[in-house]
Amino acid sequence: MMPRSRWLALLLCAVAVVAAASCGGDDEDERQDEPPSEAEGAAGETETPAATADATPALTPVGQGTVTPSPTASPSATPETVAAPDQPGPYSAGVTVLTFTRPSTTSGEPRVIETVVWYPTERVLPYDDFLKGARDVDVAPGGPFPMLVFSHGSGGNTLQSTFLTSHLASHGFIVAAVSHTGDTTSDCFPCADQEQLADSYVNRPVDATFVRDQMILTNGFDDATLLSGAIDRERLGVFGHSFGGFTSLATLAADAFDAGAVLAPVRIALPTGRYSEIDVPLLVMGGGLDNTTPFTMQETIYEESDGTETKILVQLPRAGHLNFTDYCLEGSPGCGPEGIAMDEAHRLVNLYVTAFFRYFLNGDEAYGSYLGQSFPPEAVVAASSGVDSG
């Protein structure tokens, strides 16, 4: 795992890349079905863990909304027992590191996939400040727990969005963050080589489903493992940022998960299937100031994902591409005085993503109302289907 000093050096050289990257404009329709470009490949360049956010003020929602839950979900929460989705949940976050290996889909060579896993625990020590969790401690009782697979951006890594991954663990989710070999901070930064991007385009979705299967096989039923019996294979979700958003969408089109959330996803043609084949609940989030994967991309993804009965499109108007990660580079869109405060961006991302998965994977009906609400001026539900926001 890369030392922080190396990360910081790489982040400094990313400023020019992020400032120059732009995938929007009038020619988007002509480009949306092309393979990854250099700008799209540089869509995940931010991976330095940030300090824990300070306490935030109470929510000030506008309107009340209800959502129709997944038909397979079983309600398990009441308003009296609900933890606000933007605040830590009832558990602490445990963390462990696993390594899986599979043959590359493109070359057949061994592909090593380091995976950082956060999970609910009652322990707080020994706390690992780098991984943002209590290291290798026992899983909390009360399982099995739903599992989420996280896919990082291009040139990113498993620790790029710990504000969210550890937060979800506190709300009772097991979160497996996949390291996409050949497209991480350790491999390239920015990752602009066209041949390597094409390789990642094919391998990334397979990485995500492979880790899903290995987590279930190795940690779901093997009595010798830390997570033995802790994973509920009937409640599986996926989420990702930028190129990791594309990765998540590709797995959803292949019917690999029960629900998915994508953060500032790049819109490119899927390696197999089409966006219209996504038929599970979908949350799409983007930033109004993002010039790497502009909000028009998220709007297109939302519109084209017409096979699902339930989908939600949320914009953070003053957020850029990096506000969905732990570290915002000075001078990048959304990271200066014109942008949203990082603590507030993280609070809102935590709110929508946590409410989404608690509702659609857990059947926690009390969280449905958050999904139909805007929190102006920083968060707007731009569109929704299957959501009554009246």
Quote the domain boundaries for residue 189: 47-388
Q: Which of 170, 285, 280, 180 is nearest to 236 (CA)?
A: 280
Q: How many Cα atoms sit within 13 Å of 390 on the Cβ side?
A: 3
Query: Domain count of the chain?
Result: 1
Q: Which of 278, 101, 96, 116 is nearest to 206 (CA)?
A: 101
Tell me: cis bond preceding 120? Omega within 30 of 0 counts: no
- Position 324 scores a pLDDT of 98
Neighbours of 5 (CB within 10 A): 8
Q: Which residues contact 229 (CB under 8 A, 6 or more apart)?
A: 143, 144, 220, 221, 223
Residue 15 has phi, psi (to 5 degrees) of: -55, -50
Evaluate whether residue 38 is within a structural domain. no
Evaluate whether residue 23 is within a structural domain. no
The helix/strand/coil state of 373 is coil
- Position 291 scores a pLDDT of 96
Tell me: cis bond preceding 79? Omega within 30 of 0 counts: no
Q: Go through 69-87 and write b for each residue having 16 or more CB atoms within 10 A of its CB, e for each that does not.
A: bbeebeeebeeeebbbbbb
Q: Which residues contact 51 (CB under 8 A, 6 or more apart)?
A: none
Evaluate whether residue 19 is within a structural domain. no
- Position 253 scores a pLDDT of 97
Evaluate whether residue 15 is within a structural domain. no
Evaluate whether residue 3 is within a structural domain. no
Evaluate whether residue 27 is within a structural domain. no
Evaluate whether residue 207 is within a structural domain. yes
Evaluate whether residue 2 is within a structural domain. no
- Angstrom CA distances, 312 to 238, 303, 309, 387, stand at 15, 10, 10, 8
- Position 221 scores a pLDDT of 55
- Position 30 scores a pLDDT of 35
> Residue 144 sits in a domain of what CATH number?
3.40.50.1820
Task: Provide the strand spans (E) within the chain.
Answer: 66-67, 92-103, 110-121, 127-128, 133-135, 145-151, 174-178, 231-241, 259-263, 282-287, 311-316, 380-385, 387-388
For each of the chain's 390 residues, which pLDDT tens digit applies?
A: 434 333 333 332 332 232 333 333 333 333 334 444 333 333 333 333 332 323 322 333 333 233 334 433 433 333 345 789 999 999 999 999 999 999 999 999 999 999 999 999 999 999 999 999 999 999 999 999 999 999 999 989 999 999 999 999 999 999 999 999 988 888 887 888 899 999 999 999 999 999 999 999 876 555 557 898 899 999 999 999 999 999 999 999 999 999 999 999 999 999 988 999 999 999 999 999 999 999 999 999 999 999 999 999 999 999 999 999 999 988 899 999 999 999 999 999 999 999 999 999 999 988 999 999 999 999 999 999 986 543
